[in-house]
Amino acid sequence: MLSIIGENDPKDVHAGSPVKWPFSVSSDASKLTFTFTITTGPDGADAPEWTVELNDASHEEIWSNYGNKTEVKTDGPANGKKDFSLEVICPKGARYGDTVSVSVNVSAEGETDSMTFNARASQSIMVLKTQIDQEKVVSDSLAAKANIGEKDIYAILSPGSLRGYVFVEGMNTDRMHEKTRDIKKARSFIDGETTIEEISPYLVPLSTVVGIVEGDLVELISGPFKGEKARVQQIDQTKEEITVELIEAMVPIPVTVKGDSVRVIEKEK
């Protein structure tokens, strides 16, 4: 009995990148015939063309959609089962949400079976290296260019706690490189891509009192006591406030300030 065995879970894929589904064909036939039906969306014929390939266990190409053929014959399993893989490559011009559906039909000696594989284009998140302390300048310049022409860049993140790097989210990585090419303070993209899970710590703002403990020596950097040194007496985590005592005042005065209005200059030992 002929059957296709394997997983065909839907996959997200970045523009210009491949995804694969390994599968096996179980049959006693000496020859197998594969036929393919490829559907792209959501714009049908106007959608960018995905590359689709059928490979054997040694990664040799058996069929691809480069030609006009929708059918290919290959030797059947020598021991009742033969391994294959279907690979699709997302076009670099893909837009977010573009899809491809590949229906693979196998027939031999009057028996048939089929399996459908689906992929969806998704955005890439890349890390752009910048000159130290010029992250905001680069982000602003890139944001201005992102609104010109094709909208290839969806988001730019410059965390205050990360020096020398900016996260850039978009679809077409080639055009993302092009749009940073003449930004003077931008260096280059780091090879590869990152994920939303890896940058998630930067998406949640840290409390302004994190790292400050009672007894720390701080300098007030804003407000009426700017430039004064003080000792931390109490910390209110909920309100993100600290109570300090000015150490150079004639009379010790407790002052309550926001956590971001002080700079730690000496940690409590």
pLDDT tens digits, one per residue of 234-247: 999 889 999 999 98
- 118 versus 172: which is more confidently predicted? 118
- Please provide the DSSP assignment of 125-142 as one string: EEEEEE-TT-HHHHHHHH
Q: Give the pLDDT confidence of 55-96 residue by residue, as tens digits.
A: 999 999 999 998 878 999 999 998 899 999 999 999 988 888
- pLDDT, one tens digit per residue, over 177-206 is 888 988 989 999 998 888 888 888 888 777
pTM of the complete model beyond 0.75:
no
Task: Please write the tens of the pLDDT for every residue from 136-160.
Answer: 999 999 998 887 766 778 899 998 7
Of 243, 267, 246, nearest in space to 257 by CA: 243
The confidence band for 115, taking pLDDT boundaries of 50, 70 and 90, is very high
Identify the pLDDT of residue 45: 62
Q: Which residues contact 236 (CB under 8 A, 6 or more apart)?
A: 209, 242, 243
Nearest to 1 by CA among 115, 114, 116, 109: 109
80: buried, middle or exposed (CB in 10 Å: 19+, 13-18, 0-12)?
exposed
Length of the chain: 269
Give ∠ CA 40-41-44 in degrees, rounded to 5. 75
| Better-predicted residue by pLDDT, 193 or 256 | 256
Q: Residue 119: enclosing H or E segment and its boundaries?
A: strand 111-122
**Look-up: residue for tokens 């053929």?**
69
For residues 14 and 1, is the Cβ–Cβ distance under 8 A? no
d(C-alpha 232, C-alpha 218), whole Å: 7
Residue with tokens 């058996």: 62
